[in-house]
Structures are given as C-alpha cells and as structure tokens.
Chains A and B, each alone.
Chain A
C-alpha cells in the first residue's frame, strides 16, 4: 500500500468510528446494559492517554518512574479549581468562605493549564530526581507523588484546594466524543514525538545510557524532556478523568493508581503505544463491564455457584495480570506498533497459523519428552 492510501484508510476508519459513537449515543438509553459501552470508551480513552504518557517515560526512555498518579492529581485539581462556576463556589468551598479564586477560565484553557501546571511540577521534581538510577528513581517519584497528595489535602491550602473535601460542580463534557477526540489528539502528538529525533534519542537512552552519552546525547536534558512531556499529558489525563468522574478528591490518587497504569503498560507491552491503548481498553472493559458478573451471586437452580460475591472480580483480574506478567513478559504487542501492512499480513497468515497449531503442539510435546529423557 502506498503512503497516501494508508492515510486515507486511517482517516476513513477514524471518521466511521466517531460517527458510530455519535450515532450509538443517540439511540442507546442510559438505563440499558449497553450504556456501559460509553463508560468503557470514555474511561478507556482517558486511561489510554495516561498509559501512553507513562509508556513514554517507562517504556521508551527506560526510566522507572512511578509518579503518574501525582501528576494526574495536579492536573485534575488545576482543572477543577479554575472551572467551578463562581455562583457555585460558596457551596463547594463551604468550609473556606467560598474559596480564594473568584473567576473561571474556559474549559479548553483549563485543560491546557492542567497539563502545564503538571509539567512545571515535573520539571522541578525532575531536577534532583532524574539523577538517580532505576529503583531509587522509582521510589523517589513514588515519594513525590505521596508528598503532592499530602500537600493538596493540607487544610492551610483549603481556600484553593478545598482541603481534604471533595471538589465538585466544575464543568464537564456532554458527549463521549469529547474525551475520545481529546485523548486521540494527545496520543497522536506523543506518536509524532516518539518518531522524531527526540524519540530516537529516548530509545537510545533506554538501550544503553553510556553508549547514548558517547554518541553525543545530553542524558539529563533528554530525560528531563521525556519526564516533563509525560507529566504534561498525565496532567491532561487527570483533568479529563475529573470531568469523567464529575467529583474529585485527592485521597483517590494513591500509589495503587500508578500501579494500575504500570500494569496496563506492561500488559500492552513496554515501548508500544498501540499496546498501551489496546491494554487500556481491555483493562477498563474487563473491570467495569465484562467481569461484572463475577461480583454478583449466581444461582443455577438451587445451587449457589461458590466464590461469586463482591470483590471476586478484582481477584480474578489480578490473577490474570500475574499470569501475563510471569508468562507473557512482552505483553500483547511487545515493542511492535500497529500498521496496516502488519494487520493485512496477520489476517493473511491467520488460517495458516491456526492450521499449524496442532503441529506446533506436537513438536513442543516431542521436545519436552526429549528433555525429560
């Protein structure tokens, strides 16, 4: 396929997908089971954005950073604080005399601001932290995320952050198309970055720091760049998550949240944007929708199926994650990316692959038998 053809095909697919979402949104009533589809699409695309931003640092630059939840928190708060309508402020900031800030800014600029504030924090945190090596870096970024959470819950900052109380009544979106398009644009920008000369420098640092430095790559500058850009998009992700949830509270942005994103990145494949996106949607779809039935008690006749009750879903889910982490270490995509040619090839080879499964199994068994002998 020529480049032009691929572009055309991609544009058509995206347009059809967006039109389909718009159409379905009109006909599926909010009380039907299928409305979960929109939850999955909205939350999935927000998670995809944050997962891709985490992949930029962890998968492409090889820095083991665990600060994502902290940057999302900053983004979410920056967005919420500046978009609560002035008339509602007295109700939201009821313990702090209506709060300090008495103006709002348009949604678009608020989202951008969320990213910029997160990026500024990341820049300052990066100055000392990025000089550390692998696991020390992980712990230091985790520590900073916790410190950020503590600061946002501090009562003295209450007039701005509302202390440890909920923030609510800020502007949200109406259509599922909004988060999908916003996240799509952000992910596209990250893609362009990764395919630029900066992206190549990031990958070089991941492969071998010393060799990269010898080739004239300024280690600190590039690490800092990757970290700041990743946090910028995590901040935007946080703002979109705030819009999705309609209320936010600092205590929700715990280390456990970062771990979730890390697991998504690993399931999708470290260093694959496509993988992160697929894994995000799978993760959210399984957790919010497909595995829901595990949480409700089920009777077949008089027989109660054992184990099924609230919380079982998450147990099954984490066992599956452990299996992926242990046995499919490369994740869904490894370091490969989506391409039309790859997809075509996959479909072309599919019948052959299915036919060859018995043969492969036989060969595997034979090999194991030989080893056992």
Chain B
C-alpha cells in the first residue's frame, strides 16, 4: 500500500498519458490494419493540432476554437491521404512509407516556419486545466477525464466498426484489400474514413495532452507519435483494444520509471519494450498471425 501511496501521482500521470497515447495509437493501428503503412506523419499531425489550438484561441472564443481545431485536423488528415498516399496505392510499400516520412519532414518544417522555432504555450482550458486533489495527490482535472473520455471514444469506435455497414467495409478491407475491392467496396472512401477517424482522435488527444504538457514545439509530436506506435505494435497492430491496452501500459510504466528517478531512460524503456515484444511475440498481444506465401 505504501508503494501505491508514494507513487500515486506517477500512476495517475501514467494513466492520463496512457489515454492520450491510446488516442494517437488508434490512428496508427487502423491505418496499418488497412493500408499496411506506418503513418510516420501521424505524430506530426498531432503536433499540428496542438499548434492550431495555440493559434485558434487567439482568433476566436474557446467554444468555437475546440471544434475548429478538430475539424482542421480532420481535413488535414484527409488531405494528406489524398495527396501523399493515394497516388502510391499500387507502389511498393517502402515507397509509401518514404512518402509518409517526407510528409512528416514537411509538417515539421512548416511548423518550424510558422512558430519561428519558439516553443508556444498551450492555452489553459477552463475546468479541465483546474487542479484537484485525489487521495492527497494534486493533479489536473484533465488527468482524471482523459481515461474516461478515451474509453468512451474507444467503445464508440468499436461499436462503429462492429455494427455499421461502413465498419463492416473497413473490416473487410483490412482482411483482404483486393477481394474487398472486387466485392464492390469503395476502397478510397474506406481509407479516407480511416484517416478521418484517426485524425479526429489525434486532435482530441492533442487537446488533452497539451493541456497537461503545455509546450508545443515543432518536434513535440515525434516522441508521443513513436510511443503511440510502439503501443500499437505492443497490442498487436491492427487491433484497437490492443492499442489501447498497450498505450496504458506504456504510459504507466514510463511514469513509474520517471518516479524512480531514471528519467533519461523513460523513452528508451518504450523502445526496449518494443524490441522485446518484436522478438518474443512479433504479432503483439492481440495481433493475428500473418503467413508469407511464396
């Protein structure tokens, strides 16, 4: 019990960060499930959403700014897919991945240009930025609502995928691209929808994440992006519940490591975990086995 009491702030922070990683990780895992593409630009989309949040509050009242940020990110995600990935649909997978790296490079440089290289401070949003006391540990409200919101969104998403026609189309496409196309599923709209959902969740994640860690800089998306990706691999890429569980585990472990005083290794731990899981069980916790045929 002492361990829990001493480490409560870290565990709370871990659960909250885990929820935010989960929202990003879903974007990775869904895109990978359908396109077999590691969308390296996803972390940078998350950063752009954060940056947009900083600027949007100076242009309009807060209750308009939040929907604006979300809509902007969704449009950006949709546009990136159409411009950078769609022309390469029949190209080798490596080309698409390089294109994703190119987009990530572009977004980072664009952010560097717009901000002039300065770290911008994320606006504090009333209520969710307030501090509260939980069992004697001080934290922000956002820490408490993140896991709730994350789980609510994930449940909604799982319902969407399992019980709607579009969701069925998505499952079909992720199972077999070519056959799904032959069956009359409009591949392009399914892929667009995937990117829209991914960007929407990344935008929500960015609002929560940057309310907690308020510095937005051009490289702010790289680390959360990579960690969310590791979470997706850990949970079994392509599986949404897997990504969420992976993200929570990574968030909590990382913060406990910080609490113990090994801050330098909190990032390295994530990658060590990735390498261990890739070697021991490459398909992740809930992934399906893929067999290469000649």
Give me the interface of A with B, judged by CB distance under 8 Å: 64, 128-129, 131-136, 138-140, 142-144, 146-147, 150-151, 153-155, 210, 254-256, 259-260, 262-263, 266, 309-312, 314-315, 317-319, 321-322, 325-326, 329
Contacts and interface: CB of A to CB of B under 8 A. Distances in A.
B98 A147 contact: no
B109 A314 contact: yes
A319 B84 CA distance: 11
A140 B230 CA distance: 10
23 contacts: A64-B94, A64-B97, A128-B279, A134-B93, A134-B94, A135-B38, A135-B93, A138-B97, A139-B229, A139-B274, A142-B226, A143-B230, A143-B270, A146-B226, A147-B268, A255-B222, A256-B108, A262-B98, A310-B116, A311-B112, A318-B106, A318-B110, A319-B106
Contacts of B95: 325, 329
Contacts of A312: 113
B55 interface: no
Interface residues of B, number: 45
B110 A329 contact: no
Q: What are the 6 tightest A-B residue pairs by CB atom distance, in nearest-first order? A: A143-B271, A150-B268, A311-B113, A314-B109, A318-B106, A147-B268
Contacts of A259: 101, 104-105
Given A135-B93, A310-B113, 9 more contacts: A128-B279, A143-B272, A144-B271, A146-B267, A309-B113, A317-B109, A321-B106, A325-B99, A329-B88
Interface in B249-269: 264-265, 267-268
A259 B113 CA distance: 19
A196 B9 CA distance: 59
Nearest to B101: A259
Contacts of A64: 94, 97
A150 B101 contact: no
**Main SS at interface, chain B:** helix
Q: B94, B95, B267 — which one has the most chain A CB atoms within 10 A of its CB? A: B94
Contacts of B267: 146, 150
Nearest to B218: A311
Contact of A128 (B93, B116, B275): B275
A129 B95 CA distance: 22
B103 interface: yes
Contacts of B106: 315, 318-319, 321-322
Interface string B268-293: 10111011001100100000000010
B152 interface: no
B117 interface: yes
Contacts of A132: 278, 282
A142 B110 CA distance: 23
B136 interface: no
B106 to A, nearest CB: 4
Contacts of A318: 102, 105-106, 109-110
B112 A314 contact: yes
